[in-house]
Chain A
Amino acid sequence: MSWFNRTDKGILTPTEAKREVPDGLWFKSPGGKIIHTRELKNNAYVVPEEDYHVRIGSQEYFEILFDDGAFTELDANMESADPLKFKDTKPYPKRIKETQEKTELKDAVRTAYGKMSGMDLVVACMDFSFIGGSMGSVVGEKIARAMDHSLKHNKPFLMISRSGGARMMEAGLSLMQMAKTSAKIALLDQAKIPYISLMTDPTTGGVTASYAMLGDFNIAEPGALIGFAGPRVIRETIGKDLPKGFQSAEFVLDHGFLDFIVDRRNLKSKLTTLLKMLAG
């Protein structure tokens, strides 16, 4: 039944792959490979042989990066308010509450500090499962405060982005988070504190146009979609299909906006080497 097999990768993503973390015992990759979830976890959530990087969240990144998975979370209870009384098809507070229940997260970013290979590190990591990883006041404020922690204690900062962009339900306030985070990065510059920005699939919109692109080191996971405008909007603007691989991490590297692409399995060791060089 060869006509029954998917030959093209990434055209129809199975439901399992859309989830941030595979639940259940077995995981099926977009390439059709079936793998035990324990094996997947031990492989930094990268499908062996295919090198497909599963979309994971803050918890997984913290466990991958921090020694023994030990870290102290900052501002863990910060939540969205509803200053605009925003209502589209449902009221914003209802959308927040439903998403919180579904994801067991407070908002689209978590910030923490701990040790990576014995070195101090502050990490802010976005969760795409929370309204598309959208950036509103909470995301901006948590990142800003985590950067304050870096400034105060002179610790390197790692930002892991995975976001569709600014959160519409906070309108102008979301936009100003781009300004706020950029201001803090200017202060990190001044204090000569390393700021590493890791872009993962996808990183677009206002996140790309602010903290994601402002790293001393801009790095990305293989195959990640990285851009300012989303592919659909560009297609509509130019009225043409986009070239293959457009806005992939490899494309962005080719055009000079990334320092390197890193396989998630080597992330911790490569970051360790880099930070050691800077400290040495």
Chain B
Amino acid sequence: MLLEFEKPIAELEAKLNDMKHLAGDNDKTVNNAIQALEKKILELKKETFENLTGWQRVQLSRHPDRPYTLDYIYALTTDFIELHGDRNVSDDKAMVGGFGTIEGQTFMLIGQQKGRNTKQRQIRNFGMANPEGYRKALRLMRMAEKFNKPIITFIDTPGAFPGLEAEERGQGEAIARNLKEMFTLTVPVICIIIGEGASGGALGIGIGDRVYMLENTWYSVISPESCSSILWRSWDYKEQAAEVLKLTAKDMLQLKMIDGIIKEPLGGAHTDAKWMSEELKRNILTATKELNKLSAEERIQQRIDKFCAMGVVKE
């Protein structure tokens, strides 16, 4: 799939391909032109991806080829045992979790899971968890605590599911409980926004000692589309909404709501999933090492202090 802002790059790449076909082995002028064009493409790519608007990053965060939670988990771990169910109602397939081994260390890995095709999307409910999903996540986090294993959460959701049964079974209560309980976890907690970080549905597994965003993701209180429909009473202002919501990783870091940005390969995480997983692993291991130097009490205190400092008021 080609996004609008990728078209000029794709056009040049098509031209480059043609030239390569035409060029003979020793055709010096054509080879020089090829080199020049390759350089031009790289520059254009750099310029495009460094200056993406909020809305363009939202588009990248939803790219159909983008790696999802389980893609990362399988790439990061040598062993992974998925654990199911909230022990109350059901197993929410929009939220996955289990123990996995990264470089010999056991972690609890949890995250929202999206589907790749129509059937999968239905099974995964588009990554929109029900209360059972949040309760399953909390069950697994408490288990991680019991066995003293650090927790990693992968956040990728268009929101908690706004359905009838979700309300009956207490969607609000499930998310609220997670927020409170995550502040008391004695083990290190690392949260990574790998795609969409929509509102309470994202925050419900997002209270961590370290909160990172991948470069082309978004995190806010509402999606740009819904914001547009509420504030402008029309779906047509999503680009503007994406700007004013300050939802990019850069904005969120500047406003001190996250702890860092994890770089993506040029062109987005989906263009080189292997590189992306390596980069994730590097960040996870560094953060874990730092967090392991602190006592549980220190981590909890710092976690509370960090979130309590968020917000800007006038007095």
Using a CB–CB distance below 8 Å, which chain A residues touch chain B? 75, 77-81, 83-89, 136-138, 140-141, 144, 166-168, 170-180, 182-187, 189, 205-206, 208-214, 227-229, 233-234, 237-238, 242, 246-247, 255-257
Contacts and interface: CB of A to CB of B under 8 A. Distances in A.
13 contacts: A79-B315, A137-B311, A137-B312, A137-B313, A140-B311, A168-B230, A172-B219, A175-B199, A187-B304, A208-B173, A209-B176, A237-B163, A255-B170
A208 B176 contact: yes
A206 B221 contact: yes
A136 B313 CA distance: 9
Given A171-B246, A175-B199, A228-B166, A180 B172 contact: no
Nearest to A242: B164
A52 B287 CA distance: 55
B65 interface: no
Contact of A141 (B184, B219, B303, B313): B313
Most chain B CB atoms below 10 A, which of A80, A180, A184, A247: A180
A81 B312 CA distance: 6
Given A185-B180, A210-B179, A175 B311 contact: no
Given A173-B255, A209-B200, A234-B163, A80 B314 contact: yes
A212 B176 contact: yes
Given A183-B183, A229-B171, A237-B163, A172 B308 contact: no
B313 A214 contact: no
Interface residues of B, number: 54
Contact of B177 (A75, A171, A180, A214): A214
Contacts, number: 184
B141 interface: no
Nearest to A79: B314
B79 interface: no
Contact of B167 (A81, A187, A246): A246
A26 B125 CA distance: 51
B252 interface: yes
Nearest to B254: A83
Given A89-B232, A213-B176, A177 B220 contact: no
B309 to A, nearest CB: 8
Interface in B124-176: 160-164, 166-173, 175-176
Given A77-B315, A179-B203, 8 more contacts: A79-B315, A167-B221, A172-B252, A176-B311, A214-B176, A214-B177, A229-B166, A256-B170
B310 A179 contact: yes
A206 B222 CA distance: 11
Contacts of B207: 179, 182
Contact of B160 (A136, A185, A211, A228): A228
B231 interface: yes
A151 B170 CA distance: 28
Nearest to A210: B176
B49 interface: no
A176 B175 contact: no
A168 B199 CA distance: 11
Interface of B: 160-164, 166-173, 175-177, 179-181, 183-184, 199-200, 203-204, 206-207, 219-222, 227, 230-232, 241, 244-247, 251-252, 255, 257, 303-304, 307-308, 310-315
Contacts of B200: 175, 178, 205-206, 209-210, 228
Contacts of A183: 179-180, 183, 303-304, 307-308
Given A168-B222, A171-B220, A184-B308, A209 B244 contact: no
A141 B309 CA distance: 9
B315 to A, nearest CB: 5
Contacts of A84: 244-246, 255
Contacts of B227: 168
B313 A180 contact: no
Nearest to A226: B172
Contacts of A138: 313
A228 B134 CA distance: 14
A124 to B, nearest CB: 15
Contacts of A83: 255, 312
Most chain B CB atoms below 10 A, which of A77, A175, A212, A246: A175
Contacts of B162: 228-229, 233-234, 237
Contacts of B173: 208, 213, 257
B164 A88 contact: no
Given A179-B203, A229-B171, A234-B162, A86 B244 contact: yes
B200 to A, nearest CB: 4
Most chain A CB atoms below 10 A, which of B171, B175, B200: B200
B160 A172 contact: no
Contacts of A174: 221
Contacts of A238: 163-164
